[in-house]
Structure 1
């Protein structure tokens, strides 16, 4: 089985519609794909409808914006009840603040001389939850930077960069508790991605494991072989599952679906621990 547990649609900052993501996952030879848009479940229904006539299994999920010890991090949540009130409310608060932040980032970019507008960013975002990747695309359109990756530099949008603005982010231990309360399971996304900025300590990961974290996303484009080996050892020490995924964003990034995958045994263990929702098949 080929299992990719981290992919985005245009319900957040990917470029594929949820239905296109499903079709592309089938074309990539995947057996299972997780839809993990940022802080939203808006793409679940369309992706599920697109499964008809395919052998693909969809894992409904989300990628949560978190912060601990002053460090931004992402938490993958899978197979939770999207209607559970406490978790639904927290996702709504984070999404609302994403809009405020994106508007402020646009204003900072303009103050720095970038000829972009809020209307342009909204057009790029479409129906998706607006965020920095949409601002990055606007900077590319305006000829300010060569590509989206170049926009995430200290000159522009990187954490702590000239145009960066803080946003609401959930404490990760609270996020773990909220997801568990909604019957889901959690995996710390790309925990060793040091090129994105500071990473959390192994002691913090141990604390999250004690709080109920289920796994670590080890096999990821942003992890070199040394980092993967270290994280694999840490997962074994803490009794955490190991996952792998592409973190696919469509044409916004060059990574392809299935670039890294999850072992079927780890996938089955994740599914077995979840009570809030089940994988969806055509």
Structure 2
């Protein structure tokens, strides 16, 4: 029997992923994983379907979420594991975050129009109709795919480098909650809070500040981390007593471009799940 391993960061069509939740679970099973987390942006809508698929395939599904926050002049993402997906207060809070994302999208489309690249929400819906129903949350990858479809760019990488990434010409920010607030929300929903992909932020001083704000873990292993970064974050985890997690940040393939990594390309021993559940005991009855 091989190692029991888990990928703790994947996205589905419930947010900006390309595959439905059940497909993520199937891919995890094919990759030889015994567990997978569903961590869509600001929603837990994909978790029930994944749980059903996990039951059928014998794959443990960790109910999760990735909350969008803002600190140090940029977006910071906070992963929540084992949150109570039926917690009414938590669901209302996530809905408020999706409203904020919708406002961001309006501002982003206005900026694109100023740059001579007008697109409409109707066009975004049409281009992404295979993965998005009317009224579903829209993310930057959906906007990027529409820009490519209209000929304003050739690849996803180009879109994010030139327009939608944090250094892009159309990048916009709107008021968001801070990471500490997200940590509190996750704890109040009985979950465990982990700082997502710290290497992406390009600011380890900020990372060092953030992880002292109640985080339970840090995503040491991520598709976009270098070996040196992973060694650095492992050292931080040991220093601060944080749980070390790993995730592919799988979104699927869009316009021929694999976003982040394939399911299972970053994985941790299933013992990490036990550590998360043990830590969760501090919050679930609070």
State the 1:178 CA deviation.
Answer: 1.2
Is the deviation greater in 114-123 or in 131-140? 114-123
In 2, the alpha carbon distance for the partners of 1:181 and 1:54 equals 31
The secondary structure found in structure 1 opposite 2:210 is helix
Does 1:138 find its partner at 2:146? yes
In 2, the alpha carbon distance for the partners of 1:99 and 1:116 equals 15
The secondary structure found in structure 1 opposite 2:271 is helix
**Corresponding residue of 1:280:** none
Do the aligned partners of residues 82 and 55 (structure 1) sit closer, same or farther apart at CA in structure 2, a change above 3 Å counting?
closer
Q: TM-score, normalised by structure 2?
A: 0.88
Match of 1:36 among 34, 39, 42: 39
Q: TM-score, normalised by structure 1?
A: 0.89
5+ residue gaps, structure 1, are: 278-282
State the 1:14 CA deviation.
Answer: 0.3
State the 1:2 CA deviation.
Answer: 2.0
State the 1:75 CA deviation.
Answer: 0.5
The secondary structure found in structure 2 opposite 1:174 is helix
Contact 1:68-1:171 at 8 Å conserved across structures: yes
Do the aligned partners of residues 52 and 232 (structure 1) sit closer, same or farther apart at CA in structure 2, a change above 3 Å counting?
closer
Do the aligned partners of residues 2 and 238 (structure 1) sit closer, same or farther apart at CA in structure 2, a change above 3 Å counting?
same
**Corresponding residue of 1:185:** 192
**Corresponding residue of 1:84:** 87
In 1, the alpha carbon distance for the partners of 2:166 and 2:139 equals 13
Do the aligned partners of residues 97 and 206 (structure 1) sit closer, same or farther apart at CA in structure 2, a change above 3 Å counting?
closer
Does 1:204 find its partner at 2:209? yes
Match of 2:268 among 262, 265, 268: 262
**Corresponding residue of 2:174:** 167
Does 1:223 find its partner at 2:225? yes
Do the aligned partners of residues 156 and 5 (structure 1) sit closer, same or farther apart at CA in structure 2, a change above 3 Å counting?
same
In 1, the alpha carbon distance for the partners of 2:245 and 2:19 equals 23
The secondary structure found in structure 2 opposite 1:7 is coil
State the 1:150 CA deviation.
Answer: 1.7
In 1, the alpha carbon distance for the partners of 2:276 and 2:170 equals 38
**Corresponding residue of 1:17:** 20
In 1, the alpha carbon distance for the partners of 2:63 and 2:50 equals 9
State the 1:238 CA deviation.
Answer: 0.3
In 2, the alpha carbon distance for the partners of 1:224 and 1:261 equals 15
In 1, the alpha carbon distance for the partners of 2:13 and 2:204 equals 27
**Corresponding residue of 1:152:** 160
State the 1:207 CA deviation.
Answer: 2.3
In 2, the alpha carbon distance for the partners of 1:206 and 1:113 equals 41
In 2, the alpha carbon distance for the partners of 1:238 and 1:263 equals 20
Match of 2:103 among 69, 90, 100: 100
Alignment coverage as a number of residue pairs: 271
Do the aligned partners of residues 160 and 126 (structure 1) sit closer, same or farther apart at CA in structure 2, a change above 3 Å counting?
same
Contact 1:193-1:199 at 8 Å conserved across structures: no
In 2, the alpha carbon distance for the partners of 1:267 and 1:67 equals 27
The secondary structure found in structure 1 opposite 2:220 is strand
In 2, the alpha carbon distance for the partners of 1:113 and 1:64 equals 31
Do the aligned partners of residues 29 and 53 (structure 1) sit closer, same or farther apart at CA in structure 2, a change above 3 Å counting?
same
Match of 2:73 among 62, 70, 75: 70
Contact 1:71-1:199 at 8 Å conserved across structures: no
State the 1:52 CA deviation.
Answer: 3.9
